[in-house]
Structure 1
Amino acid sequence: MDFGIKVGTPEKQSGDCMVMGIFESRKLTDSAEILDTIAGGYVNDILHTGDMDGKANTTLLLHNLPNAQCKRVLLVGLGKEPVLSDKAYISVIHSVFDALHKTGIADTALFLTEIPVKERTVEWKISQIVIAAMGSIYQFDRLKSKLKENKRCLRKVVLNIADRKNLSVGKEALQQGLAIAHGMNLAKDLGNLAPNICTPTYLAKQAADMAKTHKLKISVLEEKDMEKLGMGSLLAVAQGSHQPAKLIVLEYRGKGKTEKPVVLVGKGVTFDTGGISLKPAADMDEMKYDMCGAASVLGTLTAIAEMKLPINVVGIIPATENMPGGNATKPGDVVTSLSGQTIEILNTDAEGRLILCDALTYAERFKPQVVIDIATLTGACVVALGNVTTGLLSNDDKLAQELLLAGEQSSDRAWQLPLWDDYQDLLRSNFADIANIGGRTAGTITAACFLSRFTDKYHWAHLDIAGTAWKSGKEKGSTGRPVPLLTQYLIARARKSD
């Protein structure tokens, strides 16, 4: 799908289709008013027949309007409010593309940036339209022997804006939206792949291909390398699997060699059985999504590389399977992490923190400005926050606020939970420095408390995406989150640095 942006009005618009909004009670937006005027009141006449009243997310396709150069006009309902919420606006955009894909329309001009959205700029609207448009054509069918016939004809989308002074920032927003959408699509593809294909070795190969495409520096540590370093915690998770573990490191240098980087650490458990602490069989297939933290790191690096963002970012991905087997870690085992701290493994299904802690210690060598880890870490986060928002915990309140703001700006929200010392006592062990679980209560918080033991030397935040990384049920699939949040955070940081 191709995208363009221009300053335009409906009377001069030709092509297959124009799209514009109608508020409830049949109130026309500015573009719809102009169109109605050149059409001699045709739009108002149609609305007053009762075919459409402007209810949110309803659509009406009109053909051959008098005096209009465009073949069709798609009207979309905006609801009652004169100013939409961001959620309502995004829902409207999804309704538009759902309707367009049911037609033979090949190109369309959207007059939707004029719709007022509370506390949102034209740039935000443009970016959200592009992300929604790209999401509307995403499908994962590469593993099917017979592909469904693709009836979607839409190939070009032009976004019309009213003010020429917004043209340059609009073009920048369009490119950012495309880059984020491409990053999300990569994250979705990796998450949706079958776990017998998307192994740690496969992830390393994808990272190498990405490094070649975007001219990134890559290094991949093998198990023997990790053993020499003393990554006993990560290797403990890997030892039940026949698939070799990898530690993948990608370096994006958008601002020279001297500036300290932002480090993103993504959990890459390519399949999680729970190990000896075996998970229930129901829905275990969804544990292929336990590497969505890793996928989001690769997706975010793709987005910022496409944007050529002036910032330094390092991505670290500890990748492994968590399998039962004769050599698998047992509850009660004690291992020594890269930091030198010993860990009593009380539950082998709390494995994400075991691979992350060694990766977080490894991050120290990059002398980072900040470190953010991203992980499908705890079912407790799903219980607490559902599938709406990502859990956020941090040892630095300024960093936490920056991430929360990035989530608001990108409509990929996070919610901060406390990281108080009061919770650390739950991780006491009689036999090691720390236990890898803290009991049934406050599971998301104690998991972050565990990770915090390995982040004393830098500013750090933890994103628990267990509820937001994928959808279950009929629409099962990876969401590509939190690529928008992370990318927006890095955009804001790059701008601040400049």
Structure 2
Amino acid sequence: MEVKVVAGRIEGLKDQALALTFFEEEAPLKGLAKEVDTTLSGAISKLKKQGDFTGKTGQVAVFYPQIQFQFERIFLIGLGKTDKFELDQIRQSAGRAVQKAKELKLSSVTFACPDNLSAKYQLADVAQALTEGALLGNYNFDLYKTADLEKKIEFKSFTIFSVDSRRKVPLEKGREWGETTSWACATARNWINLPGNALTPNRLAEEAKKLALKYGVKFQALTPIEISKLKMGGLLGVSKGSEEPCRFIILEYRNGNAKDAPIVFVGKGVTFDSGGISIKPAEKMEEMKADMSGAAAAIAATLAVARMKLPVNLVALVPATENLPSGTSMKPGDILTAMNGKTIEVINTDAEGRLILADALSYAGGYKPKAVIDLATLTGSCIVALGHNRAGLLGNDRKLVDRIKKAAEKSAEKVWELPLDDEYKEQIKSTIADVKNSGGRPAGTITAAKFLEMFVDSYSWAHLDIAGMDLEFNGKPYTPKGGTGFGTRLLIQLIRDWVGR
């Protein structure tokens, strides 16, 4: 699918559909909407006056011009009330336009860049949101579909249009940013949507390697022997039950000052999680192929930063494994020793994510990092607390936490901060080891983060619990059912803000 920018007079521009956006209380019509309305003898005004289109958030109305016109149909898309407007509504509107076009079996649509937004919204940001909404709204994972392929309608072109030719440069810049962030998010979605028999730890490493080489990112994938030499007892312990060997994936992108400490992303990479000996219920276990969503986001965001050539030193670390029951699996009551030498009593083998992250966070300390951000589908407790609308955020550095909050709002990958008080550490005290891997149900997201904190070596650190955000079950304007790629765009925005881009 192609996204392009056209700026200047509308005469001569033709397409299967023209999408126009309106606020709920918007009257009278202005700008391009007024021009189109005049050409169509007041058709848009009539629809609004009759109440057929009100401009409410998410509303999409389609009408067909009754006179010869350069656009075969008009999409009217509601933005809701101006006082509740967020830039993500532009992203959603683009997604709705693409979805409506595909529903009507169209292959292209022109979207008029809104000319009625507050001046605080930069044109480049608007174009980025439009591009992301269109590309991600068009995303479809059909790798394993074999029926009715001849009936598939390919959506080919999304044009961002502005009547002001002076807008073309910032709109093009936003389109470029949006194409890269969308590519990264779609890449993460592809990996998440692959079944566990296809995306093994080694396959994830191979996929990352292929793209790392393409974009000039240094790549390593440590084998079990090499992992054993590093004494990563958490990762080795979790992987014991599977015949698929674990991997420790390392990506290094260095384009900042040689003396600058790197920022490190850490992503949980459990390519399938049965729970191990503490096995999960059979119902919905198939969703556990998405337990590597943190890894997908960390890798894809790092590759996007490399594609953008941002001036930063960035590292991504991914402990990748399966968690399966077998005669060699770790058992409740086992003691594991992490890379930093701390001992862990295994209470629940289904609390495996924190075990492999313990080693990755310990390894991250060797970089003397500027900051470390980990992402993990870590706890069901986070879904209980926040549902499927926000990820949990915890950290030991107020500035880093605030940076992440800002990037989350910009990217519309929203988070909610939870406390990290030392009192919660009492729940994970072990009588026979340094720590136990489960503190029970109460405050489960917080106690999991307190566990991780024990493997953070005096560096700035934040933890994103993205459980509940990894999969979409109903379908949204630019997020179809399946893997979401949540966190990818947030991390990219975080780095862009950090380096002033």
| TM range, smaller chain | over 0.9
Q: What is the CA-CA distance between 1:113 and the residue it aligns to?
A: 2.8
Task: Output the CA distance in 1 between the equivalents of 2:448 and 2:118.
Answer: 38
8 Å contact 1:345–1:436 — kept in the other structure? yes
8 Å contact 1:84–1:118 — kept in the other structure? no
Task: Give the stretch that moved more between structures: 175-184 or 147-156.
Answer: 147-156
* Other structure's SS at 1:243 match: coil
Aligned counterpart, 1:467: 468
Aligned counterpart, 1:390: 391
Aligned sequence identity (%): 38
Aligned counterpart, 1:489: 494
Distance 1:35-1:83 versus aligned 2 partners, 3 A rule: farther
Aligned counterpart, 2:310: 309
Q: What is the CA-CA distance between 1:134 and the residue it aligns to?
A: 1.1
8 Å contact 2:99–2:138 — kept in the other structure? no
Give the partner amino acid of 1:15: D
Aligned counterpart, 2:410: 409
Task: Output the CA distance in 1 between the equivalents of 2:463 and 2:277.
Answer: 26
8 Å contact 1:23–1:82 — kept in the other structure? no
8 Å contact 2:247–2:319 — kept in the other structure? yes
Task: Output the CA distance in 2 between the equivalents of 1:56 and 1:349.
Answer: 41
Give the partner amino acid of 1:31: L
Aligned counterpart, 2:288: 287
Task: Output the CA distance in 2 between the equivalents of 1:375 and 1:237.
Answer: 16
Aligned counterpart, 2:203: 202
Aligned counterpart, 2:483: 478
Q: CA RMSD in A?
A: 2.3
8 Å contact 2:248–2:320 — kept in the other structure? yes
Residue 426, structure 1, aligned to residue 427, structure 2: yes
Unpaired runs of at least 5, structure 1: none
8 Å contact 1:58–1:95 — kept in the other structure? no
Q: Point out which structure has higher relative CO (alpha carbons under 8 A, 6+ apart).
A: 2
Aligned counterpart, 1:218: 219
Superposition TM-score, scaled by structure 2 size: 0.92
Task: Give the stretch that moved more between structures: 96-105 or 361-370.
Answer: 96-105
Aligned counterpart, 1:130: 131
Give the partner amino acid of 2:400: L
8 Å contact 1:179–1:302 — kept in the other structure? no
Task: Output the CA distance in 2 between the equivalents of 1:227 and 1:216.
Answer: 25
Aligned counterpart, 1:369: 370
Task: Output the CA distance in 2 between the equivalents of 1:238 and 1:64.
Answer: 62
Distance 1:334-1:42 versus aligned 2 partners, 3 A rule: closer
Task: Output the CA distance in 2 between the equivalents of 1:288 and 1:7.
Answer: 44
8 Å contact 1:247–1:317 — kept in the other structure? yes
8 Å contact 1:42–1:66 — kept in the other structure? no
Distance 1:151-1:476 versus aligned 2 partners, 3 A rule: closer
Aligned counterpart, 1:2: 2
Aligned counterpart, 1:356: 357
* Aligned residue-pair number: 496
Matching of residues 85-104 of structure 1 within 5 Å: 85-104=86-105
1:380-409: CA deviations, max 9, x gaps? 001001100011111111000000000011
Give the partner amino acid of 1:326: G
Superposition TM-score, scaled by structure 1 size: 0.93
Q: What is the CA-CA distance between 1:447 and the residue it aligns to?
A: 0.5
8 Å contact 1:55–1:79 — kept in the other structure? yes
Task: Output the CA distance in 2 between the equivalents of 1:156 and 1:473.
Answer: 26
* Other structure's SS at 1:15 match: coil
Q: What is the CA-CA distance between 1:100 and the residue it aligns to?
A: 1.5
Matching of residues 111-126 of structure 1 within 5 Å: 111-116=112-117, 120-126=121-127
Task: Output the CA distance in 1 between the equivalents of 2:42 and 2:448.
Answer: 62
Task: Output the CA distance in 1 between the equivalents of 2:72 and 2:24.
Answer: 25
Distance 1:426-1:83 versus aligned 2 partners, 3 A rule: closer
Q: What is the CA-CA distance between 1:115 and the residue it aligns to?
A: 4.1
Aligned counterpart, 2:256: 255
Q: What is the CA-CA distance between 1:463 and the residue it aligns to?
A: 0.6
Unpaired runs of at least 5, structure 2: none
Q: What is the CA-CA distance between 1:77 and the residue it aligns to?
A: 3.2
Task: Output the CA distance in 1 between the equivalents of 2:466 and 2:454.
Answer: 20
8 Å contact 2:362–2:457 — kept in the other structure? no
* Other structure's SS at 1:35 match: helix
* Other structure's SS at 1:330 match: coil
Residue 15, structure 1, aligned to residue 15, structure 2: yes
